[in-house]
Amino acid sequence: MERISILGFIVAILYFITMELACNGYTHIGNNIQSEQETLIDFKSGLKDPNNRLSSWKGSNYCYWQGITCEKDTGIVISIDLHNPYPRKNVYENWSSMNLSGEIRPSLTKLKSLKYLDLSFNSFKGMSIPQFFGSLKNLLYLNLSSAEFSGTIPSNFGNLSNLQYLDLSFEDSSYNDFEYFNDLSIGNIEWMASLVSLKYLGMDYVNLSSIGSEWVEVLNKLPILTELHLDGCSLSGSIPSPSFVNFTSLRVISINSNQFISMFPEWLLNVSSLGSIDISYSQLHGRIPLGLGELPNLQYIDLSWNYNLRGSISQLLRKSWKKIEFLNLGDNELHGKFS
């Protein structure tokens, strides 16, 4: 009889502990939900939304708000996607009416599990990229392209060691209206060496004139970089060879519309993963290396409008070019015949 009483007492204790843990768990989740919702409301309050794109941002079920994605079980916000759905090169009137602008509140840092943030093609004109973005250490994806930010890119972006995708580029340089030209610049590039998870880097038309040729050595330290876009960045001088070629995952390199005054960087011939090379409009000179035709995965190459690149058409075409689909060597010093 005594054993039964003791057993009943133990069962009661276990039940009490289980219920206590469950209640604490629900309380914790409830607190998380309230905190996430309050953070989003505060974030919204700083934005100007002329077309009422964020009209769904009301009520308690914030995981169903436009642009928000949550973890299913916890209600924790993991993604904010508020890119303008109308890139201005397509429909200007729609783009301007769908713009978000205003202030980006630092309360965003309270979203500790945020992995994805896209504010591209909006209009944060004259506003610097917030320093606190460098505190969003769980970010995997950050897209601020064509959002009209200006000033210097914060060096504390180097804290984002989990980041896989970073796009700070300007969408198109063809606009004659300089009001919309990218006014971003970079003071130094050394912090980029800390972005060890980075696969995609887009910085087209960001002013990199102050970094000289350092970009090669620094970006060579990114072990899994797959795509590199530095078009129109005011890069100049030579394109030096890194001390050790570590671009083993690089598939796309686009560095056109710069002022290199350089020979073709022959170290690219050691990057067998390359599928696309664009160094057009960049004042390259010297001979076009025949080894380009032996790159096993190369599908696209544009070296046009350099004017001073030299090569024999017949010699170049004798190479295998195993996977080539697009080849543009126009407006250079080519000689010989097609055969």
* Class of the CATH domain delimited by 1-169+181-194: alpha beta
Q: Worst-scoring range by mean pLDDT, 208-222, 225-239, 244-258, 325-339?
A: 325-339
Distance CA 277, CA 282 (A): 13
Distance of CA 116 to the CA centre of its chain: 11
Q: Worst-scoring range by mean pLDDT, 31-45, 109-123, 176-190, 207-221?
A: 176-190
Each domain of the chain, given as residue ranges in start order, spans: 1-169+181-194
Residue type, 176: N
- Please tell me the total number of residues recorded for the chain in this structure: 339
CB 26 within 8 A of CB 18: no
pLDDT given for residue 181 in this prediction: 55
pLDDT of 94 strictly over 90: no
pLDDT given for residue 87 in this prediction: 73
pLDDT of 332 strictly over 90: yes
Q: Worst-scoring range by mean pLDDT, 135-149, 169-183, 196-210, 245-259?
A: 169-183
Mean pLDDT for the stretch of residues 101-110: 97
Distance CA 60, CA 323 (A): 53
Q: How confident is the model at residue 180 (pLDDT cuts 50, 70, 90)?
A: very low
Q: Worst-scoring range by mean pLDDT, 82-96, 240-254, 309-323?
A: 82-96
Burial string for 245-260 (b: 16+ CB within 10 Å, else e) reads: ebbeebbbbbbbbbeb
* 285 exposure class (CB count in 10 Å sphere: 0-12, 13-18, 19+): middle
Q: What angle do CA 313, 325, 238 make, to 5 degrees?
A: 60
Q: For residue 195, list its beta bridge partners.
A: none
Q: How many CB atoms lie within 10 A of CB 229?
A: 20
pLDDT given for residue 15 in this prediction: 55
Distances (CA, A) of 252 to 7, 131, 229, 293, 311: 68, 29, 8, 16, 23
What secondary structure letter does DSSP report for 127? P
CB 147 within 8 A of CB 122: yes
For residue 202, give both structure tokens.
């887009």
Percent of the chain with pLDDT over 90: 78
Mean pLDDT for the stretch of residues 248-260: 97
pTM (predicted TM-score): 0.88
Q: How many CB atoms lie within 10 A of CB 335?
A: 10
